[in-house]
Every structure is written in C-alpha cells, then in structure tokens.
Structure 1
Amino acid sequence: MQTGYAVVIFIFPIVLEGCCVGNHQRRKRITAFQQNITHQYYRAVAGEVFMMPCLRYVSQHMEVGWSRTGEGSKGNEHLSVDCGKKFLAEAKHSGKYTSLTCGSKLSFHLRVVEKSSLKCFQPEESSKYLLLGAGGEVTCPGLNCSNNTEVIWYKGNKAVSEQSRASCVKNGHLHLCQVSEHDTGVFFCDRQIIEQGVKWTFRRAVNITVIPHYTPSYPPRIIYPVGNTTEEVELGQSHTLECKIYFPFEIMFSPEVRWYVHSSGNMANMTAQYKEIHPQEEGVTLQEIKVTQRAIIKDVTPQHLNNTYTCIASNTVGSSSVTIQLKRKHKVKWPSLAGYPVGSLLLVAGLGIILHVKWLELQLIYKSYFQHGKHNGDEKEYDVLLSYVWSPPSADMEGVLTLSSPSGPDTDEVAACLSSMALLNSEERKATQRPLEVLLPQVLEDQWGYRLCLLERDVLPGGAYTNDVVLAIQRSRMLICLLSANYLSNNNAVFVLESGVQALLQNSTLKVLLIWTSRASASLIQPDPPLPTLVERAVKVLPSLDWTPGKSGRATDKFWRSLRKSMPDQRVKLVSLMQGQ
C-alpha cells in the first residue's frame, strides 16, 4: 500500500506538466518577466497591432495612461496612450512614456522597428485560422529565428495562462485545447531579447480567426424569393428585383450571384440589359454570410411581363436558383369625381335633417347648461316662480324634511339655518311631514330667503290668466315646476311650463328647473290630453331633480343639497329658521 502511494505521488507532478493543464511554473515565469516594473523596454513591428501593457501590481480597476515625455518623433511629443489600448504601431509611436501611479513614477520605452530590419519575416505568421470546437496551435512570429523559447501569451491585458481556459505553452507555441467563438481576435506574444545590456520585451501580434470549417459543405440557400414567385409591377414605373442568399462560411469568400432573363426561350445575363447592383454583404455570422443582390428595371413595359427572371447563387459546392415572373398591378378604381359632390350633398343633407329634428333639444341644452348665468345681475322682482298642482293627500305623497349642511361654498347664514333645522326634536319633525307643495315654499322663502312668486297668492284675481303667467315669468329669474301626473294633465299648469320653455328660448337669463314628485322618468307618464310637442321634448332635456317621499334622511339631504346648488347665485339675505328663538 505504501509503495502504490509513493508511485502516485511521483507520477502526479509529471501529468501536470502535460498540455492543457495549468501549472505553477508558468506563473513564476510571468512574475519574473515583470519584476522590474519601474523601467520597461518594449519593441514592436511597424504595421502590426500593438497594445500598451498594464503593469502587474496596478489594480485591475485602474486605467493607466502613458504620456510621451518629449522624446521621439518631432511634433508628437505630447502623445498619450491608455493602458490596454490596441493601435497600429508606427514609427511615430517610438519614444519614452511615463505614468504616475500610486505615487510612483513609471517609465516605459517603446521602439517601433521596420519589418525589413528583422532577420526573418514571414507575413503568414501574423494571422491564423482555428477550427471551432477543435484544438489549435498558434506560433509566435519570429520565434524560429531566436534561441529563446520563453514566451508569454496574452489575450487582452491578461496572460492566457491566468485565464479560466484549458491551454498551455510548449516551446513558445500556444496550444488551445478547445477553440471557441470568443477566441477570435488579437493574441500577443512577449519574448525577451538583450541588446547592449538592455533587456527588451519583443511584443508580436497574431490575428486569430475562428472558423466553423475549412471548406463549405452545402450550396448557398436563397431565402427570398421563396421558391418561384410572382411580383406585381406598374407599367411605366421602375422595379427592383431582389435576391437574398445565405452563403456558408468560406475562408476566401467571393459570392457569385447573377440575375438571368428568359425571353422567347432564350436565357441571357441581365447585366447587359439592366442595371445590376454589386452583391452586398448585409450580415455576417460565424456559420453564414448574408448577401443581397439587386437588379433594377428602369421602365417596366408589357414585354417585361412575358419574361422570366432567375436568380442563381453559386459556391464551390453547388448552386441554387429561384425564378420571378412579373404581372401587372390592377389599380383600385375609385368612384368618378362626379360621385363626390353627390356624396357630399347627401352627407350635408343628412346632417341638416338631424340638426333640424334635434335643434330644439340642442338649444335647450345649450341655454340651460352653458348660456345661463351671463346676466345674473339683472334686477327682477322675484327670484323664483313656483308652479305646482295640489296632489291628493296620501301616504305616498308625504316626505320627511331632513336637512344637513349642503356641500359647496354656502354663506354662514345657510350653515346656521341648516344646523338649526338638524336640531329639531321629534315633535317638530312630525310637523314637517307634509307634501312638497307645502314644504318647498316654506324652505325657499322662509329659510333660504328667496323672493317667491306663487300665482294663487301673488297674482290679483280677475285678470287674463295667460297674460298673468307671461308677466310673472318675465318678472322672475327662475321657474321651478313640481311635475307629477296631475300636473301634466292640468292645462293651466302645462301652459305655465310651456310659457317658461318659450321664454328660455328667447331669454337666456331665465333658468328652468323640473322637480319630479311622483316618478323618475317622463316616459312613464301618459297625460290626458297629450302634451304639446314643445313641452314633450323639453321635459327630456331640461335640468331636473327627483323628490321621492318616504325615503331615508340621506336621500332627502341629497335632494336639498342639489336644489340648493341649482338656485340663482344672487338672492336676498337668508332668514334663519331659528331667528325668532
């Protein structure tokens, strides 16, 4: 057992030295490369990509800026380059750079040499294709001309050996165990040379391109048009034929796409007859390259409708093709210009009929809700003309007067009046259980202080009734009608309402309010005799309130608040119900 254990201990370090396994020796070599970090000497080759190094002890989150100190090519003394930035090396970049980091002054010398000065230069070493998913080997350019095989490889500003991937370096060659898409880019290899006692780091660049395969395995696939198709065209207009193809990746990619025209059984290249645009690469992925080929027919003629157009795309594996035929586009026939005036006339006539039928309602709505109140300051003898018809006494006609403070900016007198009424004892509440015809005059006149006109009280008997009604309306600012089945069946009451509607149409200062005392909808009443047309249409649109006897105190309060808001703004001083107490 002890012998086997010793064998494992002996073999295990040897396995670690194999490729694709990280080892501690590589990290030691990297540290040795960067021990003297206060003075760095780098060489680059003109025309190759170069990246300014980022020193080891500087935090990864810091960007070191290298600034030219005055040495180098004339006119470029103040050149600055960021740490980790890639650029194409030129002779003008040679010189001494410094950077102040963490309180230390760092010095960096860069010398850009020409390719002709190198002992051996092989351009093919500067680029490499690696197959996706397989292992790959990358050679440091110029390594074969040097005896030093100590090389450190970088991808970005971090050594490859320190990255979380399976790789190793053998004799200066970088071995990647499995190539991925992320390996596409520039790799740098650093090796040291000594000249005149100065240790230089010679940095070379290798451009890596990851490919899915070396040769394509299938012909191009055309995605548009889909199969053989037909396109609509307009005679006399230009038309563009378009062919979209996906080509499988090739190292030496040269797409071949052509449009051909079949005319009278003969096929000819369209380039000689039409303007054919050079193929355009519109999308490149690792697996495929999207190419679009267009051909323009400047002026479509009937002859073009008889031709067949073929798009052919080819690569080293084979070719694909689709065909397009053209057909004439049929324009939508709109009605002749003579039909437009007739249609417009019918539309205007229809709108006119609708306005004529609903003109009365529209006038009443406008005057009741938008026009009223422009002349509230006009002096009138009465604030309200109250019109009603006595209803037979019954339980259904009784309501409970329960007043609370109305919402809105009422005066202090209104608040005091309503507050005092809320304090009525049960005996007084029973006394107010009376019909609205009796209750409303008391509230409007005695409690709210409005000047009220009652025909049976304020109009002298013996005169013409019609003249008295018209005169009373003219002397009032507002008309309130308590509507019920009895009211709409009474000729005198209906005449008052009709006169008020006519006055409203003539005089916008008059306000008309309807209070329904026995139902909520005018359509439920069938008066005998029938109502005049003016009244029948007016009761549907004029402002109205509902008085429902026997409801809760909250419903009654809501009615009084709504009535209070509907009253004219100008009124006499309110008289409190409890003034005499």
Structure 2
Amino acid sequence: MASFTSTLLFLATVLVGITPAVSQPDDPSGLTCNDWGESIEGSVSIVEGELGWLSCPLFSHPSVYNYTSTQSSGQNLFWYRVPEGQDLEQPIASSSRLARDRERLWLLPAAANDTGQYICMLRNRSSCTKIAMRLKVLRPDEVVRGNDCEPPVTVAASPVIIPLQGGKLVDCPDLQDAAAVGLLKSRATVTWMHIIPNSSIYHIMSQPRCRPPESWTNDREVKGVRLQVHVMMVTYQGLYICTVRYQRGGTMLSYSRSINVTAVNPPSMHKEPTILVPTREKVFTVKQDTEVQLLCKALFPYLDSSQWAMWWMVDGKTLDKVHDHHRFSKTTRKVKDDFGDRTEESVLVIQDFQAEDLKREFNCSVKNERGFETRRVQLVEEVSLPSVELGCGLGVTLVLMLLLFVVYHVFWLELLLLYRSWFGTDERHTDDKEYDVYISYARNSEEEQFVLSTLRSVLENELGYSVCIFDRDSLPGGTITDETLSFVARSRRLLVVVSPGYASHGSQALLELKAGIDGMALGGHLRVILIQYKPVRRQGWVRELRRARVALALVRWQGDKSKELTSRFWKRLRVELPVRRVSGGEEGGKDVALMRLHSQNSTNSQTGLISDTVKHPHKVFNSAG
C-alpha cells in the first residue's frame, strides 16, 4: 500500500507539474502531510463582483487523482486560505458566498479581500496531500480592455477557427462546467458582443467597435446560449465577449469570457505543400572560401492538424549525418500567415564553401499530412573579376579622358590648324578665284597703317596668301563701283576691318561689305570675316553688319597681345582663311605646308621677319630680342 501511494505521488509530480516540498506534520493529530507547494500553472484572476471558482490542481489529471475514487477510498477534500500579507492557514467554512462543490471552491461573488493563497488538501486517517494556488481579485478598472464598451475579462481568450464560407456553433467557455454545479439552480442566460479588430475596415470607417447581435446580418445569430455562424466572412473575425448570468437567491451572478475567432481558408482549396523558392529556374551564385546561404521558402496550406515539416538534405543525408556537418546549419522562421496558410522560410548556411561543394546535391523538402515535395538547389560559381586591374584601367582611362579634355580645351586652335594642314583641301584647285583675300577697311590713317603694315605684310609674306587691296591693285581711270564688285567677286575671303570710324569714313568700305554679303548669300563661294580692330558699341555697327553678325566669324585684334604670329588672333584668323599649299614649281619643286603650327621656340625669328618687312615709320611689331 505504501509503495502504491509513493507511485501515485511520483506521477503527480510529473503530470501535474508542481514543485514538491519536504513533508512536514501539519495536522494537529501529528499526521505527516505531503506538501506539493504552489502550483506552477499560474494564479487565477477574477473580477471583483463576478462569479468565480477555484479548481483543486490535484484533480488536473484524473489518472492520478479522481474525485469520485478519492471519496470512495475515504479521502476528504478540505480548503484552507492564507490571506494576503499573512502566514497562518485558515480553514474555509461554507457560507452563502463561499461554497464547495466537489473539487471546486465557488465565490458567489468574489470580493476584494478574497485575494490570497488557497490550499486544497486530500486527507484521511493515514495519508495527507495538499497543494496551493494563488487567487487575485481585480477591480474592473484594473483589467486591461481594448474599448470602453468591452466588459472586463481576466481569463485568456479561447481560440476558435472557422473556415471561410463555412459555419460553426460556438459555446461560451466554462458554461457547461458552471451549469453542472448544483449551487446554480437557475437557468443561465448569455449575451454576446463582437469587438471589431483595429485593422478591420469597419474600424477604419469609424463605425462602433462593439457590435451587439442586433446589428449583425443573417449570416450569424445567437441561438439560445450559443453563437451560430452560418457563413463565415473575413469581417466576422475578431474578439467575441460572452457574459453568463445566473439568478441565485435574489442576487444576479455573472462572469464574462472572450473568444478569439479566426477565419481560415476553406477545406476545398489546395492543401498540399508547395515550394516557392527555389524555383526550377533559380540559380544561386556562390563563391569559394565564403559563407553561402541557400534560401528555401514554402507554403503550407491550413489543415486541422498543424503537423508539417521542412528540412534540408545534402547528398541524400540529413545535416546531422553529413561527415562535415559542423559546416552546415539552418534557421527556420514564419514569414507570413494568410488565413491559416503559413509561409515558412528556411536558410541553409554553409561555412567555408569549397569547390567540391559544387558537386554536392542540396535538396529542400517539405511535408504535411496531404503531400510531399522536394526541390534541388542549382549552384554556379561566381567568376571573380580582377578588381585591381579593372580599377587601375578605369583610373587610367579617366585620367586620359581628363587630359584629352584639357588639351582640347586649351589647344583646340592648334589641333584644328594641324588637322587642316594634313587633311585640308587647297581651294585653288576647286575654283577659279584670283585672290585669296580682299581687305575692306575705312580709309583713315590709323586703320590704313594697320591694314598695309600688319595684315597685308603677314598674309602675303609669312602665310603666302594672295591679297587684294583696292587702293593698291586698282587701275587708274576705272569705275570704282565696277572694279570693287569685280575684285570682291574674284576673291575667296573678304576681310572687313571693323572700327568706330567704319560707318562714318567708309563709303568705299560699305560698298565692299555689301558686295561681300551679297556674294556670300547668293553664290556661297565667298566668306566674309570680321576683324574688330577696336571695340565698337552695338549702335555703332552698320545695318548690314547687325543683320549678318550672327552668321559671320569675328576675330578680335587685342593690340600688343596679337602682334606675335603665334598669338590667338593669327591662329583664329588662319582657321577662317583658305588652306594654303604651295606647289613645287612655285617654291623650288617642294610641297611646303604654310598652314603649320608655329611653336614658341620660333617666335623670336618670326617676329624679326615681320619687323623687316614693315617699312612704315610706325612699326606695328616690336622686336622680341
């Protein structure tokens, strides 16, 4: 008998989940009582003024302790209480508010001073076993509620799952247990309330969150004390509060419970698991001597049973059976839950990936009660780019581009002249013009000196152009207008020297300008080039120049800066003038390219040549030496 009792006590330790204390004499008669301490299942909370009860944890597992069998064996159940802040156990006597019924102690209703530790004890003449539990009686304002219209509930919500488009009868929790008690002789009445979730469209539309049955549709209704859902919809999800009421001796006793209703996909939908990643076309790029992560994502449709599995296999073996299993590990997490259909993600981590791992077979497998699927992961090795060489090459390319940009920006005139000297076409072979350049200027002493001593001298003596100047090349006795038009028509370029006195002292010059512009507009074989000898205001330009200014090239003379042959003025002017190639018969049988770039080293000698050719008393070029 003692052995059998010890076995029962051991099973109680394992199954009930309580922490046993050292046995000690608690009964005045000296009987030793086995104290199992306080139940680890947690304390019981009841709202003040509500109906509540305490169930003795010794009867949580009927295979260990059964109330009927303990009564037949002569064991009686006693209740004791240790008030809050005290240490002395006090026996609980039955009263109109505290009553015992089988293995439960009822509070009809609960009061604030009921808070404390409660002890239930099974005892007969030869044995004694007891266990404690904690009771908390909370004021209504101490209970956390989501809305003011929601009644206080201290018990965790009971989950209820209903398939979409399906139906179900929902009972209020603990209603059957309370109805079976002989203490509550009146029939229970139950009221229901639907609490709209925060994410619901009804809440977004600022409709009331607490919705009584009067506002429901015909798809759900209250039948007696039960909730009947005929056709489950998404909007019917949320928290349902049921309040149970009893009439006892002129006093209304009540308690509230909550039910969390969740919609799931109907059973008619596809229920086999599906691997979403990797797809059959998916290829993972891997690199040697690095950590590689292989992703597997699968969809598990909702089933009444939550049994499902997701695992990795390497060469047909699970990870723990691979010889180098220390390099492999996996993590699994839930990514999404859509009406019960859960998406799970598993990542296989391979440390220090090697070349021989490319030959291995990595498979991700999923399974539930309805089916099985496996998918092989395709791997390809990443081709490493020569980053150092690529970076150096890119850097060199950028530097070269920058240098070319700078060179072109600074030396574009020189480059253009060089190109013309190599690939330009000598216009003397393509037309029947007699002169290369016709110079038009206002007849006053200053401009005449500039034209004769500088322009003409350099163009003829240094650059080899044939120059026509009316005052020098016209025959006496001729008609000025006819000869002017003839000279302009027989020239390839018309150089117009523009200065402030061009309009007032240049009647002959205006005739030459008009002839050049007309020839340029009609024939296209004559080009007009403007040389600004001195700055001219906008209103100082003659009408013909103002109209044609946008289409004409303008070269500015800048005084001393433009005297040397290597200055920007002469380079810019040579770009506008015809390409000059002198044949061998004219220059001793050798082809001489006179349109060449003059380097700075030859500046002194060229300047000396210009100075020797100028016979006018006022020299334009100063000797560089």
Return the TM-score normalized by structure 2: 0.43
| Structure ranking higher on relative contact order (CA contacts 8 Å, 6+ apart) | 1
Return the TM-score normalized by structure 1: 0.46
